[in-house]
């Protein structure tokens, strides 16, 4: 049965789609069956997948489906038997109470085994994350359902600086949630990958590939134990 990973944050520009392509491609290259659900109206993942058609590396690129229906929980339940991982790229807009956008994000949250919340190495990104964390708290209070673990991922870190570590410490302290040990580096190759329908594993240098691989390994490590990290639960 598939593990469901939701990549979500209401703060735009933190790299959710790029992280989804990196995670999906990295897992597929390791032999896992991966489905990417593009629940963002910009359809970045769908366009990225279309760009890979017919290219030599297409076999490394996961299948992508566009998804704009509130029935996302039913879709995930149906597909779980067909994949090892289902990765959801959510919209930055959390929507309004009762509208389709919010129903999609609510269904995705309640279906997730793991929530990754990307944050850029900037105080503005940290502050912009508060609405999403508050939404999670509201869901748990209203529905009282099992809480999937939530981890912050610091994305776009400049190599050779300490800002990523400092922002990670601030996020962990502010929201009382853990931060992944791996911080994804800022690389021009990530932008090129989106246009080429490729990934950092195809275009990146040795250091950026090693950084992305360490990220994949850490995610797999989170699923290697049956014990839920209680520090990763929104309270």
Where exactly are the structural domains of the chain?
Answer: 3-232
Alpha-carbon distance of 182 to 126, in angstroms, equals 17
Number of C-beta neighbours around residue 98 at 10 A: 7
- Look at residue 146 in the predicted model and tell me its pLDDT: 60
- Start-end of H helices in the chain: 16-29, 44-51, 72-79, 100-111, 123-128, 130-143, 163-175, 188-196, 200-203, 206-222
Alpha-carbon distance of 75 to 81, in angstroms, equals 11
- Look at residue 100 in the predicted model and tell me its pLDDT: 82
CA distances for 209 relative to 33, 142, 161, 220, angstroms = 21, 42, 19, 17
- Look at residue 234 in the predicted model and tell me its pLDDT: 63
Measured over the CA atoms of residue 106, residue 43, residue 21 and residue 67, the dihedral's sign is: positive
CB 182 within 8 A of CB 173: no
CB 26 within 8 A of CB 212: yes
Architecture of the domain defined by 3-232: 3-Layer(aba) Sandwich (3.40)
- Look at residue 230 in the predicted model and tell me its pLDDT: 52
Distance from the Cα of residue 230 to its chain's centroid: 20
- Look at residue 227 in the predicted model and tell me its pLDDT: 43
Closest CA to 190 of 216, 212, 218, 171: 212
Question: Which pLDDT tens digit goes with each residue over 91-148?
Answer: 887 767 778 888 898 899 989 999 999 998 877 777 778 888 888 888 777 766 667 8
Q: Reduced to 3 DSSP states, what percent helix, strand and coil does the chain have, rounded to the nearest 5?
A: 50, 15, 35
Q: Per-residue b/e over 8-47, b at no fewer than 16 CB within 10 Å?
A: bbbbeebbbbbbbbbbbbbbbbeebebbbbbbbeebbbbb
| Under-50 pLDDT residues of the chain | 227-228
Alpha-carbon distance of 106 to 72, in angstroms, equals 9
What are the beta bridge partners of residue 193? none
């Amino acid at each position: 049965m598939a593990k469901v990973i939701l990549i979500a944050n209401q703060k735009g520009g933190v790299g959710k789609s790029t992280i989804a392509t990196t995670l999906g491609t990295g897992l597929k290259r390791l032999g896992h069956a991966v489905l990417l659900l593009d629940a963002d109206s910009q359809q970045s993942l769908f366009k990225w997948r279309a760009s890979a058609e017919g290219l030599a590396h297409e076999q490394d690129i996961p299948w992508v489906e566009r998804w704009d229906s509130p029935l996302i929980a039913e879709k995930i339940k149906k597909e779980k038997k067909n994949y090892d991982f289902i990765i959801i790229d959510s919209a930055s807009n959390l929507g309004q109470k009762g509208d389709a956008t919010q129903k999609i994000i609510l269904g995705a949250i309640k279906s997730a085994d793991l929530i990754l919340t990307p944050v850029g190495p900037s105080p503005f990104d940290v502050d912009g994350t508060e609405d999403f964390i508050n939404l999670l708290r509201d869901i748990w209070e209203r529905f009282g359902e099992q809480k999937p673990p939530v981890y912050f991922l610091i994305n776009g870190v400049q190599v050779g600086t300490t800002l990523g570590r400092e922002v990670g410490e601030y996020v962990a302290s502010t929201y009382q949630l853990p931060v992944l040990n791996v911080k994804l580096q800022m690389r021009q190759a990530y932008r090129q990958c989106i246009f080429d329908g490729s990934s950092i594993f195809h275009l990146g240098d040795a250091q950026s590939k090693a950084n992305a691989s360490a990220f994949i390994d850490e995610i797999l490590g989170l699923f290697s134990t049956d014990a839920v990290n209680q520090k990763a639960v929104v309270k």
